[in-house]
Structure 1
C-alpha cells in the first residue's frame, strides 16, 4: 500500500531553544520504502538529522536562537508492506532465557511504564491465562473496555499507573498501560508511533507492540486505527524516548496539522484477525 503524508508544526519561540522532532518515518525497514520525502523549515533554522546507535529512528535536532515563530513541514510518499503472522506461530511462549539479548530491555520498568507497580493487578486479572498471546489479547480488550478515551486528559508526566487509577487517557496512555501490564507479566513490550490513515481528525497515533513468537506484533487498545493502515515512525521503551517534539528552552506550539492518506493498494477493517496478526 502507498501512503501520502503531510505534517506541519508551528512554534512561537520566546527564548533560545533547541528542539528534537520525531516526525520522519522509519528508514531502512523491510516493511517500508520511502519513495520521496522533503523536510523544510521556514524561516530557515539550522538543523541536523541523527539516529541513536542500534536504532533506525530518525530525529531532527533544530536550534532557534531568535525570538521568532517558525514552521517545520514534512511530506513523504511511503510504500508499506506489513506482515501477517499466523496465530499458531504465536501461541508458544518463549522463555526469557531464550530471548534475544536486545529484547531484554523491553521487560523492565520505565518512567512512563512502571510495570513493577502493576504486577499484583496484572497477575490477579491475567495471570491465570496460559499463553502470552492470550494474555496480551486480554490486556488489550480490558483497556478498551475500562479506560475512557478523553482528549487532553493527560500530559507528558502521566504514567501507566496514573492511567489505571483515573481510568481515562489518550492513545499514548492506552499504549503505556498495555506495555506496563505486558511487562508485569514478563511479556516484552514497546511503544510504537505511526501515521494512521483512518484517524479522525488525522494525528500521529500511538500503539504498542508485544514480542510474541519471535515477532513484534502490533496492538491498539484504543481501536481507533486500522492496524493494516499504519506508517511506522518509531519504536521505543516508552513515549518519552520517541516524543513527536521535545524542547529545551521556552517555546509554544501554536499549530499542528497531520495528514495521512492511502493512495493505492487494498485494505480492510479487520481488527484483529482471529487467525492472523500484524507485524511491522
Structure 2
C-alpha cells in the first residue's frame, strides 16, 4: 500500500531517508500490529507494503495512537510475512509539540518497564543539588551513559529498567528505560521515543528519551551512538510496551529478521551531547 505524503513538494531542506525490510514466519494465523512508520504529523513521502506467502499482498489498516504514533494491523495467514517500508522525511518544517498539563501528570508516573517509584529515595540522593531541569536531565543521561555498557543480548523483552541499573549492561531500549525511570523518580516528566537514527552503528531501530523542560520536550540519548538532530520519530509512549515494533494479537510468530538503513542528507550532523535538540 502507498501511504500519502503529509505535504506535497520536493524536499529542499535537510532530510532523513529510511529503508526497512522485515521478515517473519506466521506459525498461527491472527492479527499482527507493526509500529514502524514515521510519526503521522511529519512531512514525508513514504510507502508500506506487506506481503504474505508467495508474495501475496496483504491489507494493513492504520490505527492512530497518542502523539501521532501509527500502528498498521494485518490479518496474517500462516506462512512467511514480509514488510517493506521506505520514507523520506523533511526535518525543518515542524515546531516541537508543547508539554501539556496531561503530559506533566502522566509522564511522571511509573510504567511497566520504568518502575520509578522503586528508586525514588536513591535517585533523590544520587542527583541531589541540581535545581535546573535541563542540567538535571543531562546529568541523568550522562550518568546512564557512563555506567552502562552497550551489550547486545544482555537483556530480553521482559526486563525492566532495574536490570540495567543493577547489571550495568543493556541495549538502547534499556538505556532509554533507565533514563526515563530516573527522571520520573526525580519528578521530571519523561517519555520513551522510538526513532530511526542515521549514523547508528550497528544500524537498527533505536530508542531515545524526551524530557520536559519548561514547555518544551528535549531529546536525550544516553547511548550517544548517533547524532540526535537527524533522528526521525516513529512512536512515543510511556515505555517500549506502547511502541513495540511488532505485536501479535492472536497470531503466533517465529523469529524475525530485520534490515534497517537510515541516512541523512546533505550531511550527518555533528553530535554535541550537551546541546539542546528537539524532535519533530
TM-score (norm 2): 0.87
Counterpart position of 2:80? 69
47, 54, 63: which one aligns with 1:38: 47
Question: Take 1:55 and 1:139, find their aligned partners in 2: how far apart are those partners?
Answer: 24
Correspondence list, 1:34-113, <5 A: 34=44, 36-42=45-51, 43-52=56-65, 54-65=66-77, 67-81=78-92, 100-113=101-114
Q: What is the Cα-based RMSD across aligned positions, in Å?
A: 1.9
Q: CA deviation at 1:277?
A: 0.1
Counterpart position of 1:239? 240
Contact 2:107 2:184 in 1 (8 A): yes
Gaps of 5+ in 2: 1-13
CA deviation map 1:184-237 (0-9, x unaligned): 000000001110110122111101111002100000000001011101112111
Question: Take 1:68 and 1:184, find their aligned partners in 2: how far apart are those partners?
Answer: 45
Gaps of 5+ in 1: 86-97
Task: Look up the SS of the partner of 2:79 in the other structure.
Answer: coil
Counterpart position of 2:9? none
Kindly tell me: are residues 99 and 27 of structure 1, through their superposed partners in 2, closer, same or farther at Cα, counting changes over 3 Å? closer
20, 34, 41: which one aligns with 1:21: 34
Question: Take 2:100 and 2:62, find their aligned partners in 1: how far apart are those partners?
Answer: 32
TM-score (norm 1): 0.87
Counterpart position of 2:3? none
Task: Look up the SS of the partner of 2:138 in the other structure.
Answer: helix
Contact 2:194 2:208 in 1 (8 A): yes
Q: CA deviation at 1:254?
A: 3.4
Counterpart position of 1:171? 172
Q: CA deviation at 1:154?
A: 1.3
Question: Take 1:101 and 1:23, find their aligned partners in 2: how far apart are those partners?
Answer: 25
Q: Is 99-108 or 183-192 further displaced after alignment?
A: 99-108
Counterpart position of 1:147? 148
Counterpart position of 1:95? none
Counterpart position of 1:116? 117
- List 4+ stretches of structure 1 deviating above 3 A: 82-85
Counterpart position of 2:278? 279
Kindly tell me: are residues 82 and 198 of structure 1, through their superposed partners in 2, closer, same or farther at Cα, counting changes over 3 Å? farther
CA deviation map 1:114-134 (0-9, x unaligned): 000111221111022122222
